[in-house]
Amino acid sequence: MPPQINVFFQRFGAGLKSFTAGQRTLAVLGAALLVVGIVALSAWLTRPALTPLFSGLKSTDASGIVDQLKKDNVAYELSDGGSTILVPQDKVYDERLKAASAGLPTAAATGYSLLDKMGVTSSEFQQSVTYKRALEGELASTIEAMDGVKTAAVRLAIPDKSVFVSKTPDTTASVFIDTAAGATLSSDKVQAIVHLTSAAIENLKPDNVSVVDSQGNVLSTVGGGATGSTSKQASDYENRTSDAVKAVLDRVVGPGNSTVAVAADVTGESAQQKSETFSNTAGALPLSESSKTEKYTGTGGGAAGVLGPDNIAVPSGTSGNGNFDSTTATKNNAVNKVTEDRLIPAGAVKRQTISVGVSQAAAGGLNLASLKNLVTSAAGVDTTRGDVVTVEVVPFSTAAADNAAKALAEAQANAEAEKQAAFFSTIITAGSILLGLLILALVVTIILRRRQKREPVDLGERLDLQIMPVAPPVVALPPAPETSAIPITALPPLPGPSTEQLESERRRVEIDSMVAANPERAADYLRSLMDDRQPA
């Protein structure tokens, strides 16, 4: 290992040893926080972007695809209850090709592809059922291509043709629709589905197509068309009328200052009416015209007799002259004939009532008669069928508005609090990482710049003097009275250090001072001495 690295580790260890317990704890915590932040940041930055591999999978298909991903060591995630598989973006196409080669996901044959598997030995019943399934599959896939439709299923009721019946029943169809999340089918789309289905099947009328959604709502009934049930027709009419009246009131009294309620009574039965009307155009010439005139004049002859008791004419015995005059005219005129066949569907409005309430706070200076006329015109009111319009000025309750405003304020406060919490969390995370970096930099700086300082230890000698003083001779004390005399011998003086020892100690002190002041220069000097030495 190079000497510079050894010196670095030695200084690092010496610096750690010089720390107090609190400093060591702070340094360890900072280093651990820094490591965790670096690991989390690197994991977040190196995380691959995930893209849906397949969606709307069955459980068996999802299991097979997951096994294939595990075999290829490809990271994946499951979502939507296991029906969607997410993989890294750079692995999507490769895994799709591998799954396709393995026959995944398995999809049941639909549409005209069913006819490819039929053999020449298929019975007439099998051919008929397979052809009907093919038509149903093709219609379902076509309807699923519409915007807002998630899945679709079509069932056809095609009667068998027979020469033993005089009239074949009509073909009917039922369509099941599962809409996408948040999507609704408008009446125009329902009409499109009905006409698409009826036009694709022979002898299938639009009135014989039933459409039902996944919520159980009947969008089109057999015989009733795409208008739906009577209650739905009434609800649609009430909504349209209410929206029209509401639009007028919002411009007059302002939004939120009026309320509208419409109750419509619609017919629940359909009818068929046939009428013939004849008319003649005034001043038109006749197609043909003829006249006949007869006139007779004669003399003599018996006069007419009178019947007797036995119904026998009795001559009157008189005679005279006779005259006959007759005129006949025939004229054939051109006659206009109009034959009308009318089909009256269910849902015709028999009577409606409209109730309008206007806020008292916004009705200052408002002409109720003019407002009632506006509502009558906007709703298409017909007084001859018994329609009623009521307009009243009443005080409105503000409890709902106050609650809504309070809920809105709370939602805004919660959103602001969440935003601030996320902001402070980001700041704390960034500050923790920055603090860890600063602590690490501080530790490294302290270790690199720390200098060893040695304090001189007093060992009872003066190293700055060239000659040590000689200890004075010990003087014997006189014996104490009334005690036995004990001879006391004077100790010889301690020998002092020699001049060579003092010089050596001085040089050692200078070298220690130089090493402590500039260790790099001392190390370079020692290395140079070691390099200059020649082997013996």
The structural domains of the chain, with segments of one domain joined by +, span 3-46, 50-102, 112-159+169-226, 248-267+346-396, 400-435
Please tell me the predicted confidence (pLDDT) of residue 484.
46
**326 CB-contact burial (10 Å; exposed 0-12 / middle 13-18 / buried 19+):** exposed
Number of neighbours of residue 308 by Cβ within 10 angstroms = 9
DSSP 427: H
Please tell me the predicted confidence (pLDDT) of residue 353.
92
Query: How many angstroms separate the CA atoms of 192 and 515, rounded?
Result: 97
CA angle 68, 69, 71 (to 5 degrees): 65
Write the CATH number of the domain with boundaries 248-267+346-396: 3.30.300
Nearest to 96 by CA among 369, 379, 88: 88
Query: How many angstroms separate the CA atoms of 33 and 413, rounded?
Result: 33
Please tell me the predicted confidence (pLDDT) of residue 228.
56
pLDDT tens sequence across 405-448: 888 889 889 888 888 888 888 888 777 777 777 777 777 777 66
pTM for this structure? Answer: 0.41
pLDDT tens sequence across 376-399: 999 888 888 889 999 988 888 878
Nearest to 204 by CA among 175, 176, 227: 175
Q: What token pair was written down for 155? A: 């069932």
DSSP 138-191: HHHHHHHTSTTEEEEEEEEE-PPP-TT-SSPPPEEEEEEEEEPTT----HHHHH
pLDDT tens sequence across 60-80: 888 888 988 998 888 888 888
pLDDT tens sequence across 200-254: 998 888 888 999 988 888 888 776 655 556 677 788 888 889 999 999 998 888 8
pLDDT tens sequence across 325-350: 888 888 887 788 888 887 776 677 88
Residue 109 confidence (pLDDT) above 60: no
- The pLDDT of 100-114, averaged and rounded, is 72
Q: What token pair was written down for 151? A: 């899945």
500 Cβ contact partners less than 8 Å away, ≥ 6 residues apart: none
Which of 148-152, 179-183, 290-294, 527-531 is predicted with the least confidence, judged by mean pLDDT?
A: 527-531
Given this chain, do its domains 50-102 and 248-267+346-396 carry the same CATH topology?
A: no
Query: How many angstroms separate the CA atoms of 408 and 411, rounded?
Result: 5
Is residue 335 within 8 Å of 280, Cβ to Cβ? Answer: yes
- The pLDDT of 41-53, averaged and rounded, is 78
For domain 50-102, the CATH class is alpha beta
Please tell me the predicted confidence (pLDDT) of residue 116.
72
Please tell me the predicted confidence (pLDDT) of residue 489.
56
Task: Give the CATH fold of the 112-159+169-226 domain.
Answer: GMP Synthetase; Chain A, domain 3 (3.30.300)
**Between residues 420 and 282, the one the model is more confident about:** 420
